[in-house]
Amino acid sequence: MAPIKFERILCPIDFSEFSVAAYEYASSLAQRYGAKLFVQHVVEMWRHPSAYFSVRVDLYAEFLQLFLTRAEEELQNFVRSHEHDGVRPERVIREGLATDGILSLADEQTISLIVMGTHGRRGFDRLMLGSVTERVLREAHCPVLAVREPPRNFVASATARHSIELRRILFCTDFSDYSNQAVDYALSLAAEHNSELTLLHVLEDTPESARVKEKIAKANEVLRKLLPPEAHKRYRIATTVRIGRAYQEIVQLASEMDADLVIAAVRGRNALDLVVFGSTTYRVIQLGTFPVLAVHL
């Protein structure tokens, strides 16, 4: 099993507190893996309707250039204010829709990881997919790390050699081919950080019966076989099976074990896949208080 390499990392910045948290992770990961870091801000002119009232085309162009110049200055100041030793990010300013700009740059630069800030929601809103982070999570062709604000306590000061130390990683699988392939990321990160790795499978719609213990034992055996025998000997790996709603059990276990990272696969991008994404990974991201690495396969 070849180690996963994060060679090119993209961190979109909107200058909110969520961007600050994401940038801490992105910089630390770039530092640890020796990766090239891109920081990007997209100027969305629809947020500035006054620019469209300009009758003359050249006046609109002046408005646009003004916003682009300001954005470049603000991004430069942002990077300077959150500097990590040895990390020299490449700044990218674009105009358009934020999601389109992020996805386009990720494809152009063959980005291996996108790190974005996100926030929790309440009530019906948490079931809706619409924000920039949520659309990137669904449509990116590379893994996306969704970071909550503020950074968890394992993010040390910027002066540390490696600001991020992952102590406990939770990997979630539904035993689909997509999920099982994503286990490579879990093992690679656990090896890199010398982390405890827990493999989780949730049995949904399983009635209480004499066969429950049998199903749990079988699921545990499948979990153990996801990794080669030498991995179990070399690293600290545990397996666990729970019964209930998948996203609820994932959030509960991650909280109980104080997980520093949760890893889950995202199946794809068609209508059916979005339902699956919305019912599991998306809800884990919105309801949890921990970073989630969504792996696209």
Domain ranges in the chain are 7-162, 166-292
Please compute Rg for the chain using Cα positions: 21
Question: Rounded mean pLDDT of 12-29?
Answer: 89
Say which residues have a Cβ less than 8 Å from residue 168's Cβ, sequence separation at least 6: 195, 196, 198, 257, 258, 259, 260, 261
| Interatomic CA distance for residues 255 and 289, integer angstroms | 8
C-beta separation of 30 from 115 below 8 A: no
Q: How far apart are CA 117 and CA 13, in angstroms?
A: 9
Which 3 state secondary structure label does DSSP give 216? Answer: helix
Q: What's the CATH number of domain 166-292, 3.40.50.10090, 3.90.280.10, 3.30.70.100, 3.40.50.620?
A: 3.40.50.620
Would you say 172 and 200 are in contact if contact means Cβ atoms under 8 Å apart?
yes
Mean pLDDT to the nearest integer, 113-129: 60
Fold of 7-162: Rossmann fold (3.40.50)
Paired sense of beta strands 168-172 and 261-266, if any: parallel
Which helix (H) or strand (E) segment is 114 a member of? strand 113-117
Residue predicted with more confidence, 23 or 205: 23
Residue 56 confidence (pLDDT): 55
The DSSP call for residue 152 is P
Q: How far apart are CA 34 and CA 200, in angstroms?
A: 30
What is the reported pLDDT for 283? 84
Give the tens place of pLDDT for each residue, 156-189. 444 444 567 889 999 999 888 877 778 999 999 9
Share the mean pLDDT of the chain: 82
Domains 7-162 and 166-292 share a fold: yes
Mean pLDDT of 233-239: 95
CB atoms closer than 10 angstroms to residue 130: 8
> If we measure between CA atoms, which residue out of 15, 189, 255, 266 comes closest to residue 117?
15
- pLDDT score for 110: 96
- pLDDT given for residue 50 in this prediction: 58
Instruction: Identify any residues that bridge with 292 across adjacent strands, giving them in sequence order.
Output: 146, 262
Residue type at 69 in one-letter notation: T
Flag the least confident range among 126-140, 192-206, 240-254. 126-140
Distance CA 141, CA 139 (A): 7
Asked whether the predicted pLDDT for residue 295 surpasses 50, the reply is yes
Cβ pair 4, 184 in contact under 8 A:
yes
What's the whole-number mean pLDDT along residues 95-109? 94
> Tokens representing 51?
């620019």
Amino acid at 123: G
pLDDT in tens, 273-283: 444 455 688 88
Best CA proximity match to 139, nearest among 5, 273, 7: 273
